[in-house]
């Protein structure tokens, strides 16, 4: 009982800290820019491009679910693609709207273990490796754009030479810790690159929707870097730290800080809209069936 109380207290403290960091980061960002400028940018936005951005983001999440299924199959979990997508949507809802409760990943592991008894360790490995595969793709794309962008950083043109190192790190991570995932190394990496390219397209559409056509690659580079940082579980859904990254990235690359933060906030809004779909599966629990 004492340990249970301590676990609850620890989770509560972590949640409060996350909310605190998110609030502080957003407060800091809006001390550096004018919120009225952000609203003015949104008022003039192109709705058609925003709809395309929403569709690209939704497609990226469907592809993410497909990628996760490859890992799940290696653990002995065989579920239909449709059930897998619903489970993924439910996880997104938990991650974004119930940050103080069980995480989306944690709930997926619990539900799958309850029904398939394949082992919590294996399921945790599937979810973790899925995340690391996604981060690897983010890093690869960021390095490539970084290399060909006019970034004021000495030696940036050789950034693409680090791509093989990222591939090797991912390979040896699987080999040393979860060797049974090596069979799907190539296909899941391919899917991860597809996911991030779709999210880049989403961001591109947001940038165009907000009226920027000249420095698109700068916004895409900052987006990739912010996505890597937002993966860290230190804020609510990456909010705050992503905007902070966009703010400082804008200063380094010489782009409009108001527009950069507007892009970041719009990406969060789109994430929230798609994630909210998962509430359907809170109201109507998913029935897991073996394929």
Structural domain range at position 208: 46-230+263-283
Q: What is the DSSP string of 171-186?
A: HHHHHHH-GGGGGGHH
Q: Which residues contact 249 (CB under 8 A, 6 or more apart)?
A: 218, 221, 222, 225, 226, 255, 260
Residue 220 has pLDDT above 70, yes or no: yes
Reference 174, options 231, 109, 130, 143; nearest CA is 130
The pTM is what? Answer: 0.89
Q: Is residue 23 part of a domain?
A: no
Residue at token pair 């003015």: 40
State the average pLDDT for the chain: 86
* Element spanning 229, H or E: helix 216-230
- The more confidently predicted of residues 207 and 286 is 207
**Number of domains within the chain:** 1
Q: Is residue 37 part of a domain?
A: no
b/e for 114-132, b at 16 or more Cβ within 10 A?
eebebeeebbbbbbebbeb
Q: Is residue 238 part of a domain?
A: no
pLDDT at residue 99, as a whole number:
60
Q: Is residue 27 part of a domain?
A: no
Residue 243 to residue 131: CA distance in whole angstroms: 22
Q: Which residues contact 244 (CB under 8 A, 6 or more apart)?
A: 25, 28, 29
pLDDT in tens, 229-249: 888 777 766 777 888 888 888
Q: Is residue 181 part of a domain?
A: yes
Q: In the numeric block, which tokens belong to residue 243?
A: 């905007």
Rounded to 10 degrees, the C-alpha dihedral 268/221/19/237 comes to 50
pLDDT in tens, 198-208: 999 999 999 99
Q: Is residue 119 part of a domain?
A: yes
Q: Is residue 34 part of a domain?
A: no
| Helix orientation angle between 47-74 and 257-275, rounded to the nearest 10 degrees | 60
Q: Is residue 133 part of a domain?
A: yes
């Amino acid at each position: 009982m004492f340990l249970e109380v301590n676990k609850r207290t620890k989770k509560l403290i972590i949640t409060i800290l996350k909310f605190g960091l998110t609030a502080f980061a957003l407060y800091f960002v809006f001390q550096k820019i004018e919120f009225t400028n952000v609203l003015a940018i949104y008022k003039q936005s192109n709705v058609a491009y925003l709809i395309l951005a929403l569709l690209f983001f939704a497609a990226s999440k469907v592809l993410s679910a497909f990628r996760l299924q490859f890992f799940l199959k290696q653990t002995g979990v065989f579920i239909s693609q449709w059930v897998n997508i619903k489970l993924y949507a439910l996880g997104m809802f938990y991650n974004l709207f119930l940050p103080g409760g069980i995480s989306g990943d944690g709930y997926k592991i619990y539900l799958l273990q309850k029904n398939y008894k394949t082992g919590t360790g294996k399921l945790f490995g599937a979810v973790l490796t899925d995340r690391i595969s996604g981060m690897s793709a983010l890093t690869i794309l960021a390095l490539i754009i970084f290399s060909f962008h006019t970034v004021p950083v000495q030696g940036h043109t050789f950034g693409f030479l680090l791509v093989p190192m990222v591939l090797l790190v991912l390979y040896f991570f699987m080999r040393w810790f979860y060797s049974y995932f090596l069979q799907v190394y190539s296909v899941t990496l391919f899917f991860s690159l597809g996911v991030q390219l779709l999210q880049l397209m989403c961001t591109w559409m947001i940038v165009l929707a907000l009226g920027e056509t000249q420095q698109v690659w700068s916004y895409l580079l900052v987006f990739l870097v912010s996505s890597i940082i937002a993966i860290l579980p230190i804020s609510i859904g990456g909010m705050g730290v992503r905007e902070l990254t966009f703010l400082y990235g804008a200063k380094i690359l010489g782009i409009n800080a108001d527009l950069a933060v507007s892009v970041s906030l719009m990406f969060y809004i789109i994430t929230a809209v798609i994630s909210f779909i998962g509430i359907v599966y809170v109201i109507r629990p998913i029935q897991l069936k073996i394929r």
